Amino acid sequence: MKVSKVPANVGSVISVRGSVVDIRFDGCLPPIHSVLRTGDDKQIVIEVQTQRDAHHVRGIALTPTQGLARGMAVEDTGGPLQVPVGKAILSRMFDVFGNTIDRQGALSDVEWRSVHRPPPPLARRSTKSEIFETGIKVIDVLMPLERGGKAGLFGGAGVGKTVLLTEMIHNMIGHHDGVSIFCGIGERCREGEELYRDMKAAGVLPNMVMVFGQMNEPPGSRFRVGHAALTMAEYFRDDEHRDVLLLVDNIFRFIQAGMEVSGLMGQMPSRLGYQPTMGTELAGLEERIANTDTGAITSIQAVYVPADDFTDPAAVHTFAHLSASIVLSRKRASEGLFPAIDPLQSSSRMATPGIVGERHYALAQEVRQTLAQYAELKDIIAMLGLEQLSPVDRQVVARARRLERFLTQPFFTTEQFTNLKGKLVSLNDALDGCERILRDEFKDTPESAFYMIGKIDEAKKTAAPEEAAKKVDAKPAAEAKPDAIPEAAVVAHES
């Protein structure tokens, strides 16, 4: 990290409690957010959090404090935490201090900037709204993303947030002209290594930067890694006037790291143990992700929801900053409907006639309405069976079940696990498929033909072998109503 050339301001350690270090300065007190260095090789980095009195500051160590002792000299670097920016950072992997961690040699021809920067003023912000296609049917049809906006993938543990985020990287990075920055907050080292290998294999590393704060690092380091990635993103937006795709996994770990720092500093926690400054800290990060007159930062963020409780303060505060919220459902994942997105809980501010167009808006509303009616009828079907419904309701159920299966999609990133070739579906093809299902064009096609396909025409190809097998095996008595009993049984089982 670059150290500013200022007269040395040296203090001494007076207490060490885990990551919390108290330091005495007899001369000038370093400002808040200043970086201090100590240790035999100046390898221990401390960020000033509070000035306790005229001679004492309290800081959080951004590195392990092993070997730190009372009386050790502490040097004030004269500035805040800084990271490198410039064209030379492309295709590289960094830690929170701007050190390269990909064993590809040292950086050259870079500028170092503070990670603490204000958001762009309102006068510089762009007011244009434009759709950002992902190639994933359920997202593009029901909850379209905004170019230069913020989208959140909400879900508990193991419902597919990281898989969906990785698939979006795969789909968008190929036809995304700008720079992509991946920020791993509290990541497992396995995930970082796999992502690097996958991006290298896909040939997209030349336009990508990765910044990681791993799980085993102190909370201060994990808390600042988001700011470090944003500083790099702002350089490409403001200096090079390029569009930036910022991917964050996982924003909850940022809030969690802030909670740990707050607890270490002795602040009184608010509801459910969160820090009292959570809203301010999250806003300070999110408001820097903005669309300006020179370029745009489009952000997609995974958000872990503790215990699947969407009223948790971390989830509630994050919802407020987003233009699209994609909610992943454990129930849908258990039914094998992947991506396990709940279409009724997910939403997007872009889904208005003025932005997406009248046809898209009307179709999306009709799809939601059909799925909502089916959700209401599930209890009746479970108790009485499908035969007790009116003919109109039976049609609604048939459409909804076909829509549910059509909105599943095989992913490129899971090909090795599913043995299904990944599919990229354009918005027009996705809308066309939904429209044809709602118009009952496929009422005689079995539901299973719609599962894990791309375009709607693939359903006919899938259905042909199934129908041929049925004709060979079916008995005359069963031919009168082949789908009724299994369908009712499946609905009852799912409910």
Helix (H) or strand (E) holding 132: strand 131-132
* pLDDT score of 271: 82
pLDDT tens for residues 304-330? 999 899 999 999 999 999 999 999 999
For residue 233, is pLDDT > 50?
Answer: yes
* pLDDT score of 129: 85
Peptide bond into 410 cis (omega under 30): no
* pLDDT score of 7: 60
Residues 6+ apart with CB under 8 A from 62: 45, 46, 47, 81, 96, 97, 218, 220, 221, 224
Q: Please tell me which residue in 87, 128, 188, 460 is annotated as part of the active site.
A: 188
CB-based contacts of 375-382 (< 8 A; 24+ apart in sequence): 375/344, 378/491, 378/494, 378/495, 379/495, 381/488, 381/491, 381/492, 381/495, 382/491, 382/492, 382/495
Q: If you count DSSP H runs as helices and E runs as strands, how many of each does the chain have, helices first?
A: 16, 18
Q: Please tell me which residue in 133, 146, 167, 187 is annotated as part of the active site.
A: 187
Average pLDDT over the chain reads: 89
Active-site annotation holds for 161: yes
Q: Please tell me which residue in 37, 113, 150, 161 is annotated as part of the active site.
A: 161
- How far is residue 331 CA from its own chain's centroid? 20
- Nearest alpha-carbon partner for 413 in 422, 404, 426, 405: 422
Asked whether the beta carbons of 447 and 337 are under 8 A apart, the reply is: no
CB-based contacts of 259-264 (< 8 A; 24+ apart in sequence): 260/219, 260/223, 261/49, 261/60, 261/219, 261/220, 261/223, 264/17, 264/18, 264/19, 264/20, 264/60, 264/219
For residue 491, is pLDDT > 50?
Answer: no
- β-strand partners of 85: 111
For residue 2, is pLDDT > 60?
Answer: no
- Nearest alpha-carbon partner for 293 in 245, 246, 240, 238: 238
